[in-house]
Chain A
């Protein structure tokens, strides 16, 4: 059984994905499927809530990399919020703060989308 799951929520037109568990090369396909589901429903404003994400490897980070350009081309964005320190450190190691909005709270990301 996979120790990773994605929960879906909405805030108006913003799609919020709640990540739970450990995101590695085995579970990355579930995140990929979740982002594809957003795209299929024409939801391009996506917030990734990482409050319950306990682990990430480059395979997980690679999913964000693979979709970000396409989502921005459609006028949207992926904003990442509420990461635990140990998970944020991996994002930071690869320079993700340069490429993504990584914020402390969902409210902050929603406000940024509504600007």
Chain B
């Protein structure tokens, strides 16, 4: 089966996160994911876009984020592309919750959530474009 691709482009502002969640949720529901899986996809894409807005684009709202939901026979992939500062997953350390509270930090938990909720999270940068792919496999049909 050829992959079925749906795209959405948003400005790099947190005010559009809700639109992204709804867009991905709708496609995931149509693809046959459970309510729980749909919820997990919504959070993962929200965290990925929030990181792009806050870190890749440093909070500047005039850039674009391209989101694509790619459906194939066995999985759904959410591909998020930006042209900001690249994220290096190798420099990321798992947060320790207690240390985290003591240091009064309020960010950095998103990557952890994405890793826990998705089957695969992949990053690459090519020609100034950063790409993050969130992959969730469809439940096996009986």
Identify the A interface with B (CB < 8 A).
Answer: 3, 22, 24-26, 55, 57-59, 61-63, 65-70, 86, 89-90, 93-96, 98-99
Contacts and interface: CB of A to CB of B under 8 A. Distances in A.
Nearest to B104: A66
B11 interface: no
Interface size bracket, B side:
20 to 34
B97 A94 contact: yes
Contacts of B36: 86, 89
B50 A57 contact: yes
A62 B106 contact: yes
Given A66-B105, A94-B113, A99-B97, A57 B18 contact: no
B14 A94 contact: no
B97 A69 contact: no
A32 B60 CA distance: 21
Interface in B13-68: 13-15, 17-18, 21, 35-36, 39, 42-43, 46-47, 50, 53-54
Interface of B: 13-15, 17-18, 21, 35-36, 39, 42-43, 46-47, 50, 53-54, 97-98, 100-102, 104-107, 109-110, 112-113, 116-117
Nearest to B54: A25
A66 B106 CA distance: 5
Nearest to A72: B101
Contacts of A86: 35-36, 39
B35 to A, nearest CB: 8
Contacts of B47: 57-58
A99 B97 CA distance: 8
B105 A59 contact: no
Contacts of A62: 105-107, 109
A55 to B, nearest CB: 7
